[in-house]
Amino acid sequence: MSELIKAGILGATGAVGQRFIEALENHPWFEITSLAASERSAGKKYEKAANWRLESRLPDSVKDMEVVPVDPKKVEADVVFSALPSGFAMTVEADFAKEGFAVASNASAYRMEKDVPLVIPEVNSDHLGLIDVQQDNRGWDGYIVTNPNCSTIVMVPTLKPLMQFGLESVTVATMQAISGAGYNGIASMAILDNVVPYIGGEEEKVETEPLKLLGEFDGTEIIDADIDISASCNRVPVMDGHTENIWAKMSQDPTPEQVKEAFLNFNPGLGDLPTEPDPVITVRNEPDRPQPRLDRNMGKGMGISVGRIREGIRYTAMGHNTVRGAAGASVLNAELLHKIGKL
Ligand SMILES: NC(=O)c1ccc[n+]([C@@H]2O[C@H](COP(=O)([O-])OP(=O)(O)OC[C@H]3O[C@@H](n4cnc5c(N)ncnc54)[C@H](OP(=O)(O)O)[C@@H]3O)[C@@H](O)[C@H]2O)c1
């Protein structure tokens, strides 16, 4: 590609915003042209505004960039990646879409809106057809595309290959990392030596988002998948990586070996997206895997690791919540948008 696509990051100073910088630094298709955050940060150099907390170094290319307010008139970009708190995202993402920006959002604000695509490229890339419906409905020059909640995205790529066996119901218990709550999300005194069996709004998201993701797009709307999902969500003292115990009931009652084969054969064949993991699902044969500390960086943090597939069907899935579950998911969506000519 001769010219790079200009990318802005909204909420660039936060936990997910930093992951966006990491994912877009040296990206073959995108270049970071704007970093936006709250009034607290606006006007400062990025290095001063953000407290960089990732293992990787803060890239030199963004250190001296001036942070701008989250305002379409102040942001220079073709696509904006949103890592904003959901309440604020509701108004501001629409402002950007009205002004002609493509918005790739992590926030939950628009995920369940009927005319907004909620997409995992390996699962439901055809749902991007909703962009035309959205622009017709709302009269926007730009558009919003969303990616799912960080727990949903670990589970749904494993449910997709089970659809062939007549998936009827799913029960899931999550063990979610503390980075999922953002840097200021949960006090260390509350989570160290502890498990917190409640994450506000999480169970509702894990029970509803998969139905849209696994649903059928009929050209005008999504017909939700007919699956019962029951979720219990827990916060555990892990830095990064959500682990999920999943029980899946299927009408054809496959054996663990058939399920394992289905996971291994799951190849959505997108082919040439820079952030796409290969394979999407890695099946671990060791009895004590997957584990977040050992497996979260599989596929540069974009792979889903699965193990403990047993009669029932019961298994464990694990994925990196701020990479696969947040910034990497939006970047992969934007790569697909570029591939299909929407960006
Ligand atoms: N963490 C995860 O694993 C994860 C996964 C999936 C989705 N998400 C979603 O991603 C979004 C960001 O999460 P996070 O964990 O990165 O949060 P975070 O660490 O608290 O960062 C929030 C960012 O938004 C900016 N911001 C906050 N209020 C603002 C306002 N009123 N106006 C303009 N900018 C504002 C902050 O700027 P300042 O630094 O200037 O305050 C900061 O850059 C949320 O919607 C979250 O639900 C998070």
Active site residue 242: yes
**Ligand 1 center from residue 219 Cα (angstroms):** 33
**331: Cβ–Cβ under 8 A, 6 or more apart, which residues?**
20, 23, 24, 27, 30, 81, 104, 275
Any ligand 1 atom below 6 A from CB of 40? yes
Quote the CA–CA distance of 103 and 86 in Å, as a whole number: 14
- Residue 154: predicted pLDDT: 98
Ligand 1 nearest atom to the CA of residue 180, by list position: 3
pTM of the model: 0.96
Residue keyed to tokens 């506000």: 200
- Residue 40: predicted pLDDT: 96
The secondary element (H helix, E strand) that includes residue 37 is: strand 30-37
Active site residue 150: yes
Exactly one of 127, 233, 242, 320 is catalytic; name it: 242
Any ligand 1 atom below 6 A from CB of 254? no
Where in the chain are all domains bearing CATH 3.30.360.10?
152-320
Residue keyed to tokens 């709004």: 201
As a CATH number, domain 5-149+326-339 is 3.40.50.720
Q: Which residues of the chain have pLDDT under 50?
A: none
**Residue nearest atom 28 of ligand 1, based on CA coordinates:** 38
* Radius of gyration of the chain, Cα coordinates, nearest whole angstrom: 19
Exactly one of 150, 233, 320, 338 is catalytic; name it: 150
Q: For residue 158, report the phi and psi dihedrals to the nearest 5 degrees.
A: -85, -25
Alpha carbon distances (Å) from 288 to 156, 172, 181, 294:
22, 19, 26, 11
What is the CA 327 to chain-centroid distance, rounded? 6
Alpha carbon distances (Å) from 191 to 149, 176, 178, 188, 239:
21, 11, 8, 5, 11
Quote the CA–CA distance of 232 and 115 in Å, as a whole number: 29
* Strands of 314-319's sheet in order across: 228-235, 167-176, 242-250, 314-319, 304-310, 281-283
Q: What share of the chain is helix, strand, coil (3-state, %, to 5)?
A: 35, 25, 45
Where in the chain are all domains bearing CATH 3.40.50.720?
5-149+326-339
- Residue 191: predicted pLDDT: 97
Strands 167-176 and 242-250: antiparallel
- Residue 2: predicted pLDDT: 58
**CATH ID of 152-320, from 3.40.50.2300, 3.30.565.10, 3.30.360.10, 2.70.98.30:** 3.30.360.10
- Residue 12: predicted pLDDT: 97
The secondary element (H helix, E strand) that includes residue 44 is: none
Quote the CA–CA distance of 342 and 3 in Å, as a whole number: 16
**Residue nearest atom 29 of ligand 1, based on CA coordinates:** 38
